[in-house]
Amino acid sequence: GLNALLEDIDVVVVRARVQDGGPLVLIGHSFGGLLAIAYSLKHADHIDRAIFSAPLLMVKQRVPAWKRALSTVLPRVAPGMSFSNEVDANLLSHDPGNASAYTGDPLVHDRITAGLYGDTIARGEEFIARAPQLRIPFLLMQGRDDQVVDPVGSQRFFARAVAPDRAFCLYPGLYHEIFNELDHEKVFQDIESWLTQRTNGQLTGWNPPP
């Protein structure tokens, strides 16, 4: 489950803090973005800032009815059972080369266990509700045309947040993997601007939810 993964992240964070000693920024994308939020809530004193890219707070993809029904049952009776995550590589970014690299990567697979799937779905709503508890500065980044993660989840999370120096970038026309989009330069530019200045006026994607 998520707790075991958070322990692994903490090992790396603590080691990085000891070895480097400078400001420590945790960044996570998609499921990693969900983990980054979870870690920031649990170990806010271990990091200085965080960047959440398309965090998996709400699923955009249409989940088959049988999978939705079993998501509350299988984690209890067969947590190790796996099934497809339904991710279409062609909807990750507008760069055709990215889809080919994704499907051709031997370290990429489309399986997710029932236990992890159920835990992920439940935690998304939990973390949106707990957004006011997040106290470290964070940058939330989201493609508005994301076909994997629902941008509404990111909007709801940010709308509830009260952390200092928080910023939200919503990019029209960009899909899920904003770092691999054809127009990715502005995304990295916003990260640099936020890390060095942390002023919303310097962010090209700055677009807070109403």
Give pLDDT tens digits for 27-73: 999 999 999 999 999 999 999 999 999 999 998 866 666 565 555 65
User: What's the pLDDT tens digit per position in 109-159?
Assistant: 666 666 667 777 778 999 999 999 999 999 999 999 999 999 999 999 999
Q: Please provide residue 178's backbone torsions phi and psi, each rounded to the nearest 5 degrees.
A: -65, -25
CB 181 within 8 A of CB 147: no
b (16+ CB within 10 A) / e for 15-24? eeeeeeeeee
Among 29, 94, 119, 176, which one carries the catalytic annotation? 176
Q: Does the annotation mark 184 as catalytic? A: no
Q: Does the annotation mark 84 as catalytic? A: no
| CA dist., res. 76 & res. 72, Å (int) | 8
Residues in the chain: 210
Residue 70 lies in a domain: no
- Give the HSE-up count for residue 151: Cα atoms under 13 Å, Cβ half-sphere: 21
Among 30, 40, 93, 154, which one carries the catalytic annotation? 30
Residue 84 lies in a domain: no
Q: Is the pLDDT assigned to residue 174 strictly greater than 50?
A: yes
Neighbours of 69 (CB within 10 A): 11
Residue 77 lies in a domain: no
Among 119, 146, 150, 190, which one carries the catalytic annotation? 146
Residue 74 lies in a domain: no
Q: Report how many domains make up the chain.
A: 1
Residue 169 lies in a domain: yes
Residue 71 lies in a domain: no
The domain in which residue 165 lies consists of 2-63+126-202
Q: Is the pLDDT assigned to residue 202 strictly greater than 60?
A: no
| Radius of gyration for the chain, computed over Cα atoms and rounded to the nearest angstrom | 17
Q: Is the pTM of this model over 0.75?
A: yes
CB 49 within 8 A of CB 137: yes
Q: Does the annotation mark 20 as catalytic? A: no
Q: What pLDDT is attached to residue 65?
A: 63
Q: What is the DSSP letter of 132?
A: G
Residue 37 lies in a domain: yes
Residue 147 lies in a domain: yes
CATH of the domain at 181: 3.40.50.1820
